[in-house]
Amino acid sequence: MPIEVELKARITDPDTVVGRLRSWADGEVSTYADTYYDFPDRRLTDTGRQELRLRIIDKPTGRRTVWTFKDAVLDNASTPEWETEVADSEAADAILTGLGLQPLIAYTKQCENFRFTAHRHPIVATVVTIPEIDGTFLEIETLISDDTDRDDALKAIHGVLTDLGLTDDDLEPTFYIDLVQAHRQPR
């Protein structure tokens, strides 16, 4: 079972963090159009934060679509995750809605992805802005094949966080979905 181990931080000095990341790896700029699906009774969301997402990724080299299922969270940083590439995003949407799911929320993320190895783990560090939300975020993640490696993977991610001059005080525990929904609520 593949497990994504990820921490998200708010960064107050994006230029410094991006500069450090660029000294480690070339960045790849992408725009993600994310749509999350759930049943009308919200059984996925209400069952341990399960997520079913269709992501359209636009980058200078082209467009691709990825379908992701994230199972119930294991802890504040770890989630079993399965992904597959989809040839036709409209057909994927039709399949999901035909099965009774409906779009829960959709939003766009501007991203710069950096891929490198650190602390004995392949790392993807992504600098993220979401036009509707103030601030800049940093996601640091790695994939592991089973639960036995989770503690070591989390230590590696914390190591990268420290290497970038960030601390646990910078961590943002709120899911993007919740941040976007809060922003969209009438005031």
Question: Which amino acid, one-letter code, is at 113?
Answer: N
**pLDDT at residue 1 tops 80:** no
- 3-182 CATH pick, 2.160.10.10, 3.30.230.10, 2.40.320.10, 2.40.50.140: 2.40.320.10
Are the C-beta atoms of 124 and 144 separated by less than 8 Å?
no
- The whole-angstrom separation of Cα 93 and Cα 106 is 12
Q: Where are the beta strands (DSSP E) in the chain?
A: 3-11, 27-38, 51-59, 62-70, 78-86, 102-118, 121-129, 136-144
**pLDDT at residue 148 tops 80:** no
In Å, the largest CA–CA distance within the chain is 47
The whole-number pLDDT of residue 47 equals 83
Within 10 angstroms of residue 184's Cβ, the number of other Cβ atoms is: 10
**pLDDT band at 72, cuts 50/70/90?**
confident
Question: Who's near 166: CB < 8 A, 6+ residues apart?
Answer: 9, 11, 17, 138
Residues 98-138: tens digit of each pLDDT: 999 999 999 999 999 999 999 999 999 999 999 999 999 99
DSSP state for residue 166 in the 8-state scheme: -
Are the C-beta atoms of 155 and 77 separated by less than 8 Å?
no
Mean pLDDT of the chain: 94
Helix (H) or strand (E) holding 150: helix 150-163
Place of tokens 């597959």: 84
The whole-number pLDDT of residue 67 equals 95
The whole-number pLDDT of residue 86 equals 96
**Least reliable range by pLDDT among 10-19, 79-88, 92-101:** 79-88
The whole-number pLDDT of residue 20 equals 97
Question: Which amino acid, one-letter code, is at 91?
Answer: A
Radius of gyration of the chain measured on its C-alpha atoms? 17
Percentage of the residues of the chain whose pLDDT score is greater than 90 = 81
